[in-house]
Amino acid sequence: MTFMPDGNSNSKNVKTLKIVQSEVQSTNKIALSVDCVIFGFDENKLKVLLIRSDMKKFQSKWSLLGDLVKPEEDIDSAAYRILKQRTGLDHLYLEQVHTFGSINRHPGGRVVSVAYYSLINIQHHKLKILDNELHWHDVDSVTDLAFDHQEIFDTCYTRLQKRVQEHPLGFSLLPNKFSLRELQNLYEAILGVKLDRRNFRKKFFAMDFLIDLDEIEENVPHRPGKLYKFNYSKYEKRNKKWIGIDF
Amino acid sequence: MTFMPDGNSNSKNVKTLKIVQSEVQSTNKIALSVDCVIFGFDENKLKVLLIRSDMKKFQSKWSLLGDLVKPEEDIDSAAYRILKQRTGLDHLYLEQVHTFGSINRHPGGRVVSVAYYSLINIQHHKLKILDNELHWHDVDSVTDLAFDHQEIFDTCYTRLQKRVQEHPLGFSLLPNKFSLRELQNLYEAILGVKLDRRNFRKKFFAMDFLIDLDEIEENVPHRPGKLYKFNYSKYEKRNKKWIGIDF
DNA sequence: GCAAAAGTGTTGGAAATACACCCATGT
DNA sequence: ACATGGGTGTATTTCCAACACTTTTGC
């Protein structure tokens, strides 16, 4: 990055560290925050974690989980910290999506927010902190969030829908052992479509990233399905060539 | 976004505007910048605009075009401003890619940078401002940039390679009227591959987004090719369904 | 035995790939 | 005439979509 004071077109324009430091200090009137869109999957529905806004102005509205980034904190670390504080969880899939920087997006002042999304397995981690009515909402019912959180949510949801088709993210929403039916329900919930069961199975078996655990479901009121887990190490070694122009 | 002072677990935690404002002000010790990776295409090579770093510490290194975001400036606007200042151009394709926020990425202090990339047609806009040795570099020769600009560049280049296959971005790098050979050269340069000429043509004709201008190239030392332009309005009306799970 | 979901194959069409020859122009 | 790239067609393969019946288990 280069600093360009207005009107300065001198080509011998070299700055000492001290000059740059004072430029940085005089310009840092912008606060930085992180907002997390945390997706989960339960009862064959895609869910998202929301809380009641703790700002008076948005008192009746739902809001994403976020916080200001501390001056000495990496932004990715801030996202992990928020996840940890809100869900008690570490080591989750977390992806930066977009940075929202409209001037008036936040009533408290100029706050630029970096949006992340994360996927967590609802079964494995019951929520322990329930402040501000923290709980899971069906993604379909998410409307009219506080701040510009609706836009952030929509962006993250769209990103998830795209990513889940290109990368095996979805497995982190499922139990360690899952049936193909559960996997298909997950994809149908995320993408909002119905898929042909036979073709779905064919596709996943052809990928050859599922490990047959030689176990079957229990306590289901019908013929139990076989259980699988995802072969991450095999997936990591694959080298996909991705040339395919298609608008 | 929600503010969560450490240790505060009161579920009636509602904040007035004044409280939030003071929180924002006490935390805004982070400067925000924008860095632009500006791609062009010339002589069948993909190019990128770089300048010499104007910081003493990186004096011999090349650097991306960037600047601090002003406190009252939208981040997208800042990116357009930088483009305008550096190239004299408006109304360009510009896409936000990623935000880089490591603690020590900038020697002048805590600076978080939002990366954008842009595509411009080198033929149409000769550079008029040449401060800091601004000029076009072959993307293949870009190494060892100042700051963390190598990482930013790599991220943007990878993003371009992906996007150009899904959206008709490439046309903004070409003249208004172009031959299919030029189009293919562009794709080959961006993706770094060789493509079969006949299949390439078949694919683009099948898409049916090219308008045949009934004109031919001039001053070429061989049989001249037909000229086309891209049918943006038809492209906008298309509704692509994009279900296709494929890791 | 009945309900409910598991499991399994085939076929036809579409799209991608591989590949070779003639044509138009400038020199 | 020749060098250069423009322009075209076909055969093959691969992938995807559509579609129906039998099997296993719980009740």
For the domain that residue B111 is a member of, what is the CATH number? 3.90.79.10
Tokens representing A160 are 């998830």
Average pLDDT (B44-67) is: 89
Backbone angles phi, psi at B74, to 5 degrees: -60, 145
Q: Which of A115-119, B60-64, B240-244 has the highest mean pLDDT?
A: A115-119
> A127 to chain B, minimum CA–CA distance in Å?
14
User: Can you tell me the distance from the alpha carbon of A59 to that of A67, in angstroms, rounded to the nearest whole number?
Assistant: 17
User: Can you tell me the distance from the alpha carbon of B157 to that of B179, in angstroms, rounded to the nearest whole number?
Assistant: 25
Domain end marker among B117, B142, B173: B173
Q: Are residues A95 and A208 in the same domain?
A: no
pLDDT of A226 reads 97
> Looking at the DSSP assignment, which residues form a beta bridge with residue B228?
B178, B212
A16 in any annotated domain: no
> pLDDT tens digits for A27-42?
668 899 999 999 999 9
Domain residue limits at B72: 30-173
User: Can you tell me the distance from the alpha carbon of B114 to that of B36, in angstroms, rounded to the nearest whole number?
Assistant: 9
User: Can you tell me the distance from the alpha carbon of B161 to that of A228, in angstroms, rounded to the nearest whole number?
Assistant: 34
pLDDT of B17 reads 66
Please say if the pLDDT value at position B142 is more than 90.
yes
Q: Give the residue whose CA sits closest to D8 at C1'.
A: B198
Q: C26 C1' – B184 CA distance, angstroms?
A: 23
Total domains in chain A come to 2
pLDDT of A124 reads 80
The reported pTM is 0.90
pLDDT of A108 reads 83
pLDDT of A144 reads 94
CA–CA distances in Å: residue A116 to residues A36, A83, B65, B133, B159: 5, 10, 26, 37, 18
Q: Are residues B101 and B156 in the same domain?
A: yes
Q: Which residue among A35, A102, A109 sits closest to B74, beta carbon to beta carbon?
A: A102
pLDDT of A63 reads 95
- pLDDT tier at B23, thresholds 50, 70, 90: low
- pLDDT tier at B105, thresholds 50, 70, 90: very high
Distance of CA B216 to the CA centre of its chain: 31
**Chain B residues near residue A112 by CB distance under 8 angstroms:** 32, 69, 75
Q: Are residues B46 and B138 in the same domain?
A: yes
Q: DSSP for B76-120?
A: HHHHHHHHHHHH---S-EEEEEEEE--TTS-TTS-EEEEEEEEE-
Please say if the pLDDT value at position A46 is more than 60.
yes
CATH number of the domain residue B208 falls in: 1.10.10.10
Q: Are residues B141 and B197 in the same domain?
A: no
Is residue B206's beta carbon less than 7 angstroms from any atom in nucleic acid strand D?
no
A19 in any annotated domain: no
The whole-chain average pLDDT of chain B stands at 88
pLDDT of B9 reads 39
B52 in any annotated domain: yes
- Nucleotides, chain C, CB distance < 7 Å: 3-10, 16-20, 23-27
- pLDDT tier at B243, thresholds 50, 70, 90: confident
Q: Are residues A40 and A91 in the same domain?
A: yes
Q: How many CB atoms lie within 10 A of CB B143?
A: 9
Pairing of strands B65-68, A45-52: unpaired
Q: Are residues A130 and A198 in the same domain?
A: no
> pLDDT tens digits for A69-87?
999 999 999 999 998 888 8
Mutate to test the interface with B, among A2, A6, A63, A167 (most CBs of B within 10 A): A2
More confident residue, A21 or B194: B194
Is residue A198's beta carbon less than 7 angstroms from any atom in nucleic acid strand D?
yes
